[in-house]
Chains A and B, each alone.
Chain A
Amino acid sequence: MDLSYLPQIALSGIGIGCIYGLIGIGFCVIYNASGIVNFAQGAFVMLGGMITHTMLHRYGVPMIASAAIAIAAVSLAGIVIERVVVRPLWNRNATMFVMILATLAAQIVIERSTLIVAGDQPRTLPAFTDLPPMMLGGLAVSYQFLWIVAASLATVAALALFFKTTLVGKAMRACAINREAAALQGIPVSRMLALSFALSAALGAIAGILITPTQYTAFNVGVPFAINGFIAAIVGGFGRPLGAFVGGIMLGLAQAIAIVVFGAGFKNVAALSVLLLFLFVRPSGIFGSAK
């Protein structure tokens, strides 16, 4: 076994880990506002990459504008899912399991619609900065990696600021602590639910746009991303956005090591084993559950 390229692999693990972290935060945002685990989270990641690609290549919109349009469109898709699928079930007091099943079905509907509209060809986006990777002491650091890390950190910081300082953010946190008490304070709890879906969808879209240049996107990439994002959220303690981000990076590193030791084919098995390990031994995650 050759360990000389372990640092290089670890670096890419951190990159993909940031993506898992963003998706994990998406799970937490919705869960905190409503107690719902949204299994359609992967669809947002896929749509983010696909819509950006369509804007960029079919309509020739500049990259930044394409990304902005994609984020806005995916947020809208999040609100649509909330209105069409989640809200009717929520009003009928559906059980948690029915909610999971319905969002999983929504994931499939979006996936299949994308297949019909866009075809099954994998697409990729150009790197944001098209320069050869920097060499830092034998370590090749690509510019896309820097973009991913910087944009993820910026997103997390912006989110933290939003929750800490703005009135809407504070209202969402109040819902997370106690929905009934929040409603008694005059906070429109149901509007917060829609907002949490929009926010979570935007996070997914950002993740999808950032990762697509290093990999590819296609109609069926959503579910693996959603599962890894969920694992990140579990590892960090479900309902803790910052924990989810740290959990994502740890998961990315664990996967990178598994690739070196067992081969690339087993990276999903490694991630799922991490999930089972945490669920069986410490379901509240490394930082403890939020509730």
Chain B
Amino acid sequence: MTKSPTITFPDMTRRGLGALPWIAAAGVLAYAFFVGGYLTTVMSFALIYVVFVTGLNVFMGYAGQVSFGHNAFAALSGYTSAYLTTSHGFAPLPAFGAGLALALSCALIVGYPTLRLKGHYLAMATLAIGLIVYEVAVEWTSVTQGYMGISGIPPIGIAGYEITSERGQLAFLTVIVALATLVSWRIRESRFGRALSAVAGSEDAARALGISASRYKLSAFLASAAFAALAGSLFVHVVGFVSPEVYGLHMVVLAFTMLYVGGIGTIAGPFVGAVIISLLPEMFRQFKDYQDLAYGAALILLLIYAPRGLSTISSLFRRAAAKKAVVS
């Protein structure tokens, strides 16, 4: 019963279902673009988170590692962008370059000793890195202004041309997200990506095949830190303000919820998850106090009942179909 020759119709349905999350999320994006207004702002946030979660997905989904501390790299780059553009008159692009360099060098320095750890040691070490950067952002008031935050950050702009309109920003972010998703897809399909999935499966087996597990883990860590840095800098330019709370533990939990809702390890997952999770609070605006409560509860339910997320709806369908086929 394992080989079934008549799969054409269910196969079509399955493909349709597989594309459904993509289409729905892209539809919302297009709608926001044409309607404008508040929804544009919501979608801009969602797209920034797509970049962050895409990075996290490379490290956690592809390479099978754990990081509770990628907010640190977003914070490093975001604060560098904010500080250099407001206090030293840098243009956004060179400021981002500096932020990215800082984030990547920090990732390299902490990545080497951290990635030797496994299990809850790895989880806790990365959590500590995120919390240390948060505490420093709060305490180092001469640069970060502490809880007050840095305001008056200029919008994104290249070579003197600034993108100030909300629609322009949304279009710019859409291009960035498309590129990020493309890069994530190319990573997964490359030799590098296959090596990562070998490491995710079993480090010992990967090593036996001649894959240097530690080097690939570090590369994946750096790649995901670069995505996080980009998201961090995009945030400060789109909002024009930054404070430590932006990059707090809340960011980590939100990103994890998005990754799990969308489907960890999938290409569409970050996009689908970030759009859904960003829209939910807008639909339930009157229950603002219950937001984090709902995130937490939803995350627990997802982890228990649908640990592979909504992007894999088609494979759920396939499994159900396979079960039916076995029964009949």
A residues neighboring B (CB under 8 Å): 37, 85, 88-89, 92, 94, 96-98, 100-102, 104-109, 111-113, 115-116, 223, 227, 230, 234, 265-266, 268-269, 272-273, 275-276, 279-280, 283
Contact = CB atoms under 8 A, between A and B. Distances in A.
A266 to B, nearest CB: 6
What are the 9 closest A-B residue pairs judged by CB atoms, nearest first? A112-B293, A108-B296, A109-B296, A280-B113, A37-B120, A105-B299, A265-B139, A105-B296, A272-B128
A106 B296 contact: yes
Given A96-B119, A279-B124, A265 B138 contact: yes
B129 interface: yes
A108 B295 contact: yes
Contacts of A98: 303, 307
A262 to B, nearest CB: 9
Given A109-B300, A227-B127, A265-B139, 12 more contacts: A101-B303, A105-B296, A105-B297, A106-B296, A109-B293, A111-B292, A113-B293, A269-B139, A275-B128, A276-B132, A279-B125, A280-B113
Given A104-B253, A112-B290, A265-B139, A230 B132 contact: no
B304 A89 contact: yes
Contacts of A104: 253
11 contacts: A89-B304, A94-B307, A96-B120, A97-B119, A101-B256, A108-B296, A269-B135, A276-B125, A279-B113, A279-B128, A280-B114
A88 B307 CA distance: 12
B296 A94 contact: no
Contacts of A234: 121, 124
Interface in B76-118: 110, 113-114, 117
Contact of B290 (A96, A116, A223): A116
A100 B292 contact: no
A102 B139 contact: no
B56 to A, nearest CB: 12
A46 to B, nearest CB: 15
Chain B interface size range: 35 or more
Contacts of B125: 275-276, 279-280
Given A109-B293, A279-B117, A102 B303 contact: yes
B251 interface: no
Contacts of A97: 66, 119, 123
Contacts of B189: none
Contacts of B131: 227, 268, 272
Contact of B300 (A92, A105, A116, A272): A105
Nearest to B298: A105
A220 B99 CA distance: 31
Interface of B: 66, 110, 113-114, 117, 119-121, 123-125, 127-129, 131-132, 135-136, 138-139, 249, 253, 256, 289-290, 292-293, 295-297, 299-300, 303-304, 307
Nearest to B129: A276
A47 B283 CA distance: 31
A276 B128 contact: yes
A107 B292 CA distance: 11
A272 B132 contact: yes
Nearest to B125: A279
Contacts of A111: 292
Contacts of B290: 112, 116
Nearest to A268: B135
A115 B135 CA distance: 23
B117 A269 contact: no
B43 to A, nearest CB: 25
* Interface-centre pick from B124, B125, B132 (highest chain A CB count, 10 A): B124
A282 to B, nearest CB: 12
Contact of A112 (B113, B119, B138, B292): B292
A88 B293 CA distance: 20
A102 B299 contact: yes
Contacts of A230: 124
A275 B124 contact: yes
Contacts of A269: 132, 135-136, 139
Nearest to A224: B131
A111 to B, nearest CB: 8
A117 to B, nearest CB: 11
